[in-house]
Amino acid sequence: MARVRVLVGTKKGAFILTSDGKRDKWDVAGPFFGGWSIYHMKGSPIDPNRIYASQCSDWFGQVIQRSDDGGKNWYQPGGEASIDFTGKPAGASNKFVYEGTVGTHMWYDGTQHPWEFKRVWHLEPSLTEVETVYAGAEDAALFRSTDGATTWQELRGLRDQQASNWAPGAGGMGLHTIILDPTNPLRIYVAISSAGAFRTDDGGVTWKPINRGLKSKYMPDPNAEVGYCVHRLALHPSKPDVVFMQLHWNIMRTDNAGELWTNISGNLPTDFGFPIEVHPHEPETIYVIPITSDSEHYVHEGKLRVFRSRTGGTEWEALTSGLPQKDCYVNVLRDAMSTDTLEEGGIYFGTSGGQIYVSPDGGDNWRTIVHDLPAVLSVEVQTLR
Amino acid sequence: MEIPFHLQNLARSGPEVLLEVSSPVTIGTVLDALEQRYPMLCGTVRDHVTKKRRAFLRYFGCQKDLSFVDTTAPLPEAIVAGTEPFIIWGALSGG
C-alpha cells in the first residue's frame, strides 16, 4: 500500500510525518536540528530516501543536511568529522560563493548594495540525475550541485538579467521558487522576491525575464521587465507551459511558459497571499490561501479558508470543512503547501501557528495532523509506493 | 575551547573540545584547528572566504572579550596552556 511522508520545516527544527494511504493516523518524528530554522526540505524524485534540508540561523549561517535513509540519519556532505589533522578543511556543503564579480543590486534606499549570501530558501532535486540538486539563495542566485550537495556552483547567467535593478522585499531578496520542466530538462523556471520570474531554455546558461502582463501598483515603469514581487509559481507536469503565479497581490496564469500573464483573481475576497498549488491529477484545479493584505499577514476575516478553482482560475470556491472559521489569524508561507499523488489527491499546508492540515479528498474536508509545532516555513510531501 | 549548543549538535561533541594548535596560537590558528578537526563547522563561526567572524558571535577568554582582537595576535598564555578555555559565544543578540 502506498504511504506518504510529509517533510516539515519550521523556525525551530524539522519534523517528518508519516501515514498510510488513508492519511488518517500519523506518526510524528522530530524535532531534527532542534533550535535551527529549516527553510526547506525536499526528497529526490529518483531516490525518495535521498532528502536534502536547508538548515540556517542568523548566528551560525547556512548548513546543508542530507539524509540517504528517508530522514532517519542526517549528515553534512563533505563535512564528515576528520581524523586527519594535517589536511585542509573538507566541509563545503554550505559554501555558497557567487561566481565572478560579486556585483551589486538595488538597496532599500535606492543605492547599490553588494550581493551578500544569507541563506538557502529552497532546494530542488533534479528529476533525472540523482546527484544533482538546485538551491535558491538569498541574496538571490541559483546554485547547482552535481555531487549530492557536497559542492555548489552558481548559475551566473541568471544575474545577467538586469540584476542591478533587483531589490529586496521586506522578507529579503530570496530566490524561492525553482520549477524543473518535466518534459524538457533544459527548461527551468525560477522566481525571486522582488525581482520577478525568469526562465532558462538551455539548462541555466542564459535566462530571460518572464514578467509581461504583471501589474504592480506604484511601479515607476509599468512596463518594466523586472522588479515584480512574485511570491510563488506552480505548474502541473502534464501542462508545463501553463504556469500559475501568486504575485504580491493578484493571482496570475500564463499559457505560454511566461511570455504573457493574465489575471485570474476573479471572485477571491482578497488576492494577496503566498502559496499556490495545482491538484496532482487535475491540471486546471488550483489552490490558494489568501491573507488579508500586505500589511496584515493573517487570513481574511479570522477564517482559515483554502480557495479552489476548478476552472484554471477566476472562479473560486472557499473550502472550509474542518478548518477554523472563527478567531483564526495565522499565515501560510509560500513553500508551506504541497500535494501527494495518491489516487484521491491529498492537499497539505502548514501555518505560522504550527498546525499541519491535510485534506485527503482534494480540499473538500480537512483535518489536523499536528497542531502545536513551531511556526511552519515549508511543507513537502512524498508519495511512497 | 568551548562552543555553543548549536555547534555542539553539528559537531556531535560536548560543550568543550580539545585542540592541538601549533605555535603561534592565535584566534586564526585556533579556528583553523577547529575547522580541521570538525569540518562541519566550516562557515558557521567565520565566513568561508573572508574569514570574518559571523556578526552575532563573540569570542571570549580569560575574562576578556576577544571578539575584536587581531586574529593573528598571540592569545593569552592561559589559553595557550589550556588552563583557560577560548570561548565562542552565540547569544549576545536576538531574542
Q: pLDDT band for A93, please (50, 70, 90 cuts).
A: confident
Beta carbon pairs, A and B, within 8 Å: 82
The answer to whether A95 contacts B35, with C-beta atoms less than 8 Å apart, is no
Find all residues with CB under 8 Å of A22, minimum gap 6, and list them.
Answer: A360
Percent of chain A with pLDDT over 90: 91
A35 closest CB neighbour out of B6, B43, B56: B6
**Region class of A71: left (phi > 0), else alpha (psi between -120 and 50), else beta:** left
Contact A310, A370 (CB under 8 A): no
**Which of helix, strand or coil describes residue A189?**
strand
Whole-prediction pTM: 0.95
Instruction: Tell me the ipTM for this assembly.
Output: 0.90
Residue B34 forms contact with A (CB below 8 Å): no
Residue A141 CB coordination number (10 Å): 25
Nearest-Cα distance to chain A for B32, in Å, is 8
The tally of CA atoms less than 13 A away on the side-chain side of residue A183 is 9
Residue B30 forms contact with A (CB below 8 Å): no
Residue A364 has pLDDT above 60, yes or no: yes
Among A363, A250, A237, A359, residue whose Cα is nearest residue A313:
A250
pLDDT mean over A338-346: 97
Residue B36 forms contact with A (CB below 8 Å): yes
Nearest-Cα distance to chain B for A76, in Å, is 7
pLDDT at res. A85: 46
The answer to whether A88 contacts B36, with C-beta atoms less than 8 Å apart, is yes
**Rounded Cα distance, A355 and A376, in Å:** 8
B39 closest CB neighbour out of A33, A86, A91: A91
Interface of A with B in 2-61 (CB under 8 A): 33-36, 57-61
What nine digits make up the cell of A122?
Answer: 529552497
What nine digits make up the cell of A208?
Answer: 530571460
CA triple B9-A96-A202, angle to 5 deg: 135
pLDDT mean over A72-78: 93
Interface of A with B in 128-187 (CB under 8 A): none
Q: Read off φ and ψ for residue A89, nearest 5 degrees.
A: -55, 135
pLDDT mean over A311-339: 98
